[in-house]
Structure 1
Amino acid sequence: MSDQKTLLLTGASRGIGHATVMRFAKEGWRVITCSRQPFPEKCPWGGGREDHIELDLASPDATIAAIEQIRERLGGKLHALVNNAGISPKTPTGGRLNTLETDLRTWGKVFHVNFFASIVLARGLKDELSAAKGSVVNVTSIAGARVHPFAGAAYATSKAALAALTREMAHDFGPLGVRVNAIAPGEIETSILSPGTEKIVEGLPLRRLGQPSEVADVIWFLCSDQSSYVTGTEIEVNAGQHV
């Protein structure tokens, strides 16, 4: 239908990304997904295969080249862009990579996925976002504001940079009618939780892990008309972990 709204989502294959797909699909939106993985055989939303783009955001050339492919699918309007894709490399034994151990190539790859891809996509699709008076949501992390026991230095600094980028984008995209916000999740129950997370949960005011659907609901709010006067902010979704 011609008045159907469209979401472009990166990192859609699991966790928060998958929950976001389901949330927007429930509202009747068309969801275009980008992931380095091919479209999974068992996925529960209709039209997903046709609207999936296999894209490695770690490659600047591939990300820039994908812009035209995405624009062709949009038909002139993009109502929401959610930059959710993120990588957090570990040591060979699964431990945290700190500033002394992270090599430059690894750091660069993390920044390409977690930071640069967000502005490359938003800038490349600014006309479509402006035409729809759309919304951009960047998914940051509690690790961007404090040292985290499991998230590495490259991941943390990329998320801190993404929070700053959100403010810059809100300033620059606002005159185009586009709102730009961020969400900073804490400990969310996904397949990539590190052993020991239960110790963090014991100290949270709400005393529990977050669910991906709870994060998706906040993303939905920031892309809906309910937040029409909200831009340039970062909402913490972490059970009070920041206090």
Structure 2
Amino acid sequence: MNTASTRNKTALVIGGSRGIGAAIALRLARDGANVALTYASAGAKALDVAAAIEAQGVQAMALKADSASAAELQDAVGQAVARFGRIDIVVVNAGVLHIADVAAFSLEQLDRMLDVNVRGVYLAIQAALPHMPAGGRVITIGSNTAVRSGHPGSSVYSMTKGAVAVMVKGLAVDLAPRGITINNIQPGPIETDMTADMIEMVKEWIPLKRVGQPDEVAALAAYLASTESGYMTGASLTIDGGMSL
């Protein structure tokens, strides 16, 4: 991949303090992009990621923003633009997960997941778009549960990730006249702090008999952020070791 295509560009990673988001932020920095990343509560981890980014010779900033808050998302975008002048790449990774049977799912839990996993994705993209030039890249992080929801209690999470996949299709049509692409990555189980308690169990469901690593998702995001992906838009790319086959 031609990493020069992201050199000196600015990336905004929504939800970049840990796990997949942190891996993507670090990979884009390694490819030469300046990176602004948001966090909802893990401020110390976000600062550590920002320091690791700057150690690679590019600029970074960590911004507090709950993706359920339109005002906080808009403020984070404003701060990133004030620092870097524009946004070339947007990665929307922030998400929440709650597993429960439909009879036990509270209204508060439902609203929180819809607010962050669906509404927050749309609002983050909407806030960034006025500051994106032609050739910009938007990347969402969905889930393979959008196409394979076989785990009890995952109905709401699957619903939110299915909504993101459809959203990306519609936004691809809207953004095409501006030369901006948007694509959706759908990871299966990835080894992060969110999945630490279930890794051994889920390995048996995956043909490759292992879970993925954050860097593997980051590599796909780096391709989608590059000029080499310019003919791909509106796609959902599943990376799950064959789990959804």
Is the pair's TM-score, using the shorter chain for normalization, greater than 0.5? yes
- After TM superposition, list the pairs within 5 Å mapping 1:75-90 onto structure 2: 75=85, 77-89=86-98
Q: Distance in 1 between matches of 2:194 and 2:101?
A: 19
| Aligned residues of 1:143 and 1:151 also touching (Cα < 8 A) | no
CA 1:50 to 1:211, structure 2 compared with 1: closer, same or farther past 3 Å?
closer
Match of 1:8 in 2: 12
Deviation at 1:149, TM superposition (A): 2.4
- SS of aligned partner of 2:38: strand
Partner of 2:119 in structure 1? 116
Deviations 1:42-87 (A, max 9, x none): 4422189961111111223433444433432341x31110000110
Q: Which runs of 5+ in 1 are unaligned?
A: 90-95
Q: Is the 8 A contact 1:60 1:112 kept in 2?
A: no
The aligned amino acid for 2:126 is: R
Aligned pair 1:125/2:128, yes or no? yes
Taking only the aligned residue pairs, the percentage that are identical comes to 28
Equivalent-residue separation in structure 2 for 1:82 and 1:113 (angstroms): 14
Question: Are residue 107 (structure 1) and residue 110 (structure 2) matched?
Answer: yes
8 Å CA contact 1:150–1:194 kept in 2: the answer is: no
Task: Specify the SS of the correspondent of 1:56.
Answer: coil
| Within-5 A mapping of 1:1-243 | 4-37=8-41, 38-40=43-45, 42-43=48-49, 44-46=52-54, 51-75=61-85, 77-89=86-98, 96-129=99-132, 131-149=133-151, 152-193=154-195, 195-243=197-245
- What's the counterpart of residue 93 of structure 1? none
Deviation of 1:127 (Å): 2.5
- Asked whether the 8 Å contact 2:73–2:127 carries over to 1, the reply is no
Q: Distance in 2 between matches of 1:18 and 1:80?
A: 15
Structure 2: unaligned runs, 5 residues or longer: 1-6
The aligned length equals: 233
Which residue identity lines up with residue 123 of structure 2 in the other structure?
V
- Which secondary structure state, in structure 2, belongs to the residue aligned with residue 100 of structure 1? helix
Distance 1:214 1:180 in 2: 19
TM-score, normalization by structure 1: 0.87
Moved more, 102-111 or 4-13: 102-111
Give the residue type in structure 1 aligned to 2:89: A
> Any idea what SS the aligned residue of 1:221 has?
helix
- Richer in helix (by share): 2
Tell me the SS of whatever aligns to 2:184: strand
- 2:134–2:178: 8 Å Cα contact kept in structure 1? no
Residues 150 and 22 of structure 1, relative CA distance in 2, 3 Å threshold: farther
TM-score normalized by the length of structure 2: 0.87
Q: Is the 8 A contact 1:88 1:151 kept in 2?
A: no
What amino acid does structure 1 have at the position aligned with 2:12? Answer: L
Q: Deviations over 1:190-215 (max 9, x none)?
A: 11116444233223221211110000
Once the two structures are overlaid, the 10-residue window that deviates more, 36-45 or 54-63, is 36-45
Provide the rounded CA distance (Å) in 1 between the counterparts of 2:210 and 2:62.
33
Residue matched to 2:4:
none
**Cα distance in 2 for residues equivalent to 1:83 and 1:71:** 17
**SS of 1:45's equivalent?**
helix
Measured after TM superposition, the shift of residue 133 of structure 1 is: 1.6
Counterpart contact for 2:146–2:159, Cα < 8 Å: yes
Distance 1:88 1:183 in 2: 17
Per-residue CA deviations over 1:1-24 (Å, capped at 9, x if unaligned) read xx7101100111111111111111
Please give the secondary structure, in 1, of the residue aligned with 2:103.
coil
Instruction: Kindly report structure 1 stretches of 4+ aligned residues shifted beyond 6 Å.
Output: none
Q: Aligned partners of 1:196, 1:62: CA distance in 2, in Å? A: 32
